[in-house]
Amino acid sequence: MDLYYRKTGSGAPLVIIHGLYGSSDNWMNISKRLAEKYTVYLIDQRNHGRSGFAESHTYNDMRDDLAAFFERHNIEKATILGHSMGGKVAMWFAADFPEKVEKLVIADIAPKDYLQLKDDSQFYLHQNILLAMQDVDFSMVKSRSDVDDFLAEKIDNERIRMFLLKNVGKNKKTKQFQWQLNAGVLYDHLEEIVSGVNIKWLDDRIPITAYPVIFIRGLLSKYIQDEDKDLIKEIYPEARIVDIPEAGHWLHAEQPQKFMEAVMLCC
């Protein structure tokens, strides 16, 4: 798939990969800072933003999309920064193409199967979100606030709704509001999105030491727990793990300065 991208700055290449429901738009502020040192590529992953929609959304698909992007833009080697689902894509790509990775920066996600959690609230949260998104009747929508009203019936968290509303755009032909992500396909592939790229997937590559790795976690987030540090070290024995206080899962938006400081520890 030919991914939509933004490019800024000059210097060694750095590729930013957004997470579920995200897009390159969410990383513009961070990219401006990194552009002082790097040529920054911000991609929209398949079924997100301005990139194409497809019937499949697996980590193999996203790895292959990224490999094709490197080839298309003549990127021989790059630092890769991936957040959440994008972090798992980055880990999976790096495991298969270590020669293309200068450094690996993983933001608030661990290489584990999140379906195995005793409190599996994350999977059901995303399931509820994607069902709510599919239930929005855009024929009744006159503004983004109408979409928020629809979502509020099923999603109590206003912060989540505000993030989702960034995916509302207008169809160029019909001028009707629509989602700029493929909620139906993401729902169909949610189990792999939540569970994939874990220690079983990476088992035949362990230990991974071919490139520097840094994990950045928000201390208000539940995505990387203290007990996950041993798992990370088993896979990436030389990895650094940096904590950002007062930051949740969207740590780059909540604490941009501290996030940038953490990134620069590696880069």
For 106-147, the pLDDT digits (tens) are 999 999 999 987 665 688 999 999 999 999 999 999 999 999
What is residue 245's DSSP assignment?
Answer: T
The CA-based dihedral angle spanning residues 242, 25, 160, 114, taken in that order and rounded to the nearest 10 degrees: -50
Average pLDDT, the chain: 95
pLDDT of res. 118:
60
pTM listed for this prediction = 0.96
- Going along the chain from its start, the domains and CATH numbers come out as 5-112+197-265 (3.40.50.1820), 120-190 (no CATH)
What is residue 143's DSSP assignment?
Answer: S
CA-based nearest residue to 253, from 85, 40, 78, 107: 107
CA-based nearest residue to 231, from 265, 197, 193: 197
Cβ atoms of 105 and 82 closer than 8 Å: yes
- Where are the alpha helices (H) located in the chain, listed in sequence order? 28-34, 59-72, 85-96, 121-135, 144-152, 158-165, 183-188, 190-195, 199-202, 228-235, 251-254, 256-266
* Mean pLDDT value of segment 183-191: 98
